């Protein structure tokens, strides 16, 4: 909708912004080609209207979405060069946060630590919980990538998991969950997340937009995923999806699933892949006025 409105009023800066953020969503859903197409278009518009507005931010998103080292490195280099030209503060904050993830994805542990330090320096005199979290997360995941395995790092990852849940930074949790995993030979459903809100009074009907985080030891080209929603022991909804599961952490989006609630109770979300047995991945106690935001729980098979 924001992209359509921006185009209707010929607001090119907002058009680029909508394209860049949609590109980021495509990446999270595993649609790499669509992500890169949106980001390329966003940057093309931004180069016409002026990269000072959000150009470095878009380059950071591109660096995370990049499928090759050259694209990632070029985006990071250009973004960092733009930051040195008196760029707007939001670019410094968001470019560094994206750059940390881009470096982690590329195995550039030193780069991730460097960008974390830059973000920390930026907010040193006016600390932001958001920045403090992503600085600590970047350092912990870089340490894990460098091969560190000790009680201190395990405790830090556990703390970051709790902090991420408390702040609602669910997008940052899968990588933490992957680092905390002890058995690399198992497929893990990390959790289910739904964004819709249950109305204030029961009974209620919803369309749930569900994202499932999966951590796999090896890629699965085509996987059949099943999702069940139960209210206590009663199955009230079910959905299917086909997905290409990547090695490591990936996210699969389910089509909207209609759910009807006639009473309060415990919503139970169960997953299966292929012929495997159904496995509980998240639960939520539902009462009148409950906002649906599912806790992330790991469950290994």
**Is 111 among the domain residues?**
yes
- Take residue 282 and report the two structure tokens written for it: 């998240």
**Is 72 among the domain residues?**
yes
Which range among 105-109, 177-181, 259-263 has the greatest average pLDDT? Answer: 105-109
**Is 26 among the domain residues?**
no
Same domain (yes/no): 173, 214: no
pLDDT score of 198: 52
Q: Which residues pair with 235 in a beta bridge?
A: 230
Same domain (yes/no): 174, 196: no
- Take residue 61 and report the two structure tokens written for it: 């998103």
Query: Whole-angstrom Cα distance, residue 78 to residue 56?
Result: 8
Same domain (yes/no): 67, 91: yes
CATH code at 194?
Answer: 2.60.40.10
Tokens 């649609």 correspond to what residue? 31
Residue 285 domain boundaries: 188-300
DSSP 1: -
Higher pLDDT, 121 or 267: 121
**Is 12 among the domain residues?**
no
**Is 24 among the domain residues?**
no
Contact, 136 vs 99, CB < 8 A? no
What domain count does the chain have?
2
pLDDT tens figures, 238-257? 888 777 776 666 677 776 77
Model pTM?
Answer: 0.65
**Is 207 among the domain residues?**
yes
Same domain (yes/no): 100, 134: yes
**Is 31 among the domain residues?**
no
**Is 22 among the domain residues?**
no
Contact, 97 vs 169, CB < 8 A? no
Q: Is 246 helix (H, G, I), strand (E, B) or coil?
A: coil
> Final residue of a domain: which of 126, 154, 180?
180
Tokens 């002026």 correspond to what residue? 50
Q: Is the pLDDT of residue 209 over 70?
A: no
Higher pLDDT, 80 or 247: 80
pLDDT tens figures, 6-47? 888 988 999 999 999 999 988 887 788 999 999 999 999 999
Same domain (yes/no): 167, 127: yes
Q: Is the pLDDT of residue 183 over 50?
A: no
> Final residue of a domain: which of 123, 150, 180?
180
Q: Which residues pair with 98 in a beta bridge?
A: none
pLDDT score of 112: 96
Same domain (yes/no): 195, 253: yes
> Final residue of a domain: which of 113, 145, 180?
180
Same domain (yes/no): 194, 295: yes
Query: Whole-angstrom Cα distance, residue 203 to residue 22?
Result: 34
Kindly indicate the confidence band of residue 200, based on its pLDDT and cuts at 50, 70 and 90: low
Same domain (yes/no): 194, 126: no
Same domain (yes/no): 233, 121: no
- Take residue 124 and report the two structure tokens written for it: 């040193």
Same domain (yes/no): 170, 201: no
Same domain (yes/no): 110, 164: yes
Same domain (yes/no): 205, 157: no
Query: Whole-angstrom Cα distance, residue 237 to residue 257?
Result: 7
- Take residue 128 and report the two structure tokens written for it: 């932001």
Kindly indicate the confidence band of residue 301, based on its pLDDT and cuts at 50, 70 and 90: very low
**Angle subtended at Cα 295 by Cα 255 and Cα 164, rounded to the nearest 5 degrees:** 110
pLDDT tens figures, 118-159? 999 999 999 999 999 999 999 999 998 888 888 899 899 999
């Amino acid at each position: 909708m924001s992209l359509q409105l921006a185009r209707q009023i010929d607001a090119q800066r907002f058009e680029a912004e909508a394209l860049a953020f949609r590109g980021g969503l495509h990446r999270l859903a595993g649609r790499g080609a669509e992500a890169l197409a949106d980001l390329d278009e966003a940057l093309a518009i931004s180069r016409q209207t002026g990269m000072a507005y959000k150009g470095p931010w878009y380059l950071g998103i591109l660096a995370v979405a990049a499928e090759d080292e050259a694209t990632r490195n070029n985006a990071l280099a250009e973004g960092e060069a733009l930051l040195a030209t008196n760029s707007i503060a939001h670019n410094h904050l968001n470019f560094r946060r994206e750059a940390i993830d881009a470096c982690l994805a590329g195995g550039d542990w030193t780069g991730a630590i460097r960008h974390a330090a830059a973000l920390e320096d930026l907010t040193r005199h006016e600390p932001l919980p958001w920045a403090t979290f992503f600085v600590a997360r970047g350092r912990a995941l870089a340490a894990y990538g460098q091969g560190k395995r000790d009680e201190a790092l395990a405790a830090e990852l556990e703390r970051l998991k709790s902090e991420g849940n408390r702040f609602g930074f669910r997008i940052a949790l899968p990588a933490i969950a992957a680092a905390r995993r002890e058995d690399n030979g198992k497929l893990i459903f990390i959790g289910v997340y739904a964004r819709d809100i249950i109305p204030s009074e029961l009974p209620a009907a919803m369309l749930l937009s569900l994202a499932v985080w999966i951590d796999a030891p090896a890629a699965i080209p085509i996987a059949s995923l099943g999702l069940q929603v139960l209210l206590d022991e009663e199955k009230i909804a079910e959905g299917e999806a086909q997905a290409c599961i990547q090695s490591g952490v990936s996210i699969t989006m389910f089509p909207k699933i209609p759910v009807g609630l006639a009473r309060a109770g415990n919503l139970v979300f169960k997953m299966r892949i292929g012929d495997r047995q159904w496995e509980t991945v998240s639960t939520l106690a539902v009462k009148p006025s409950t906002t649906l935001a599912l806790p992330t729980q790991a469950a290994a098979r």
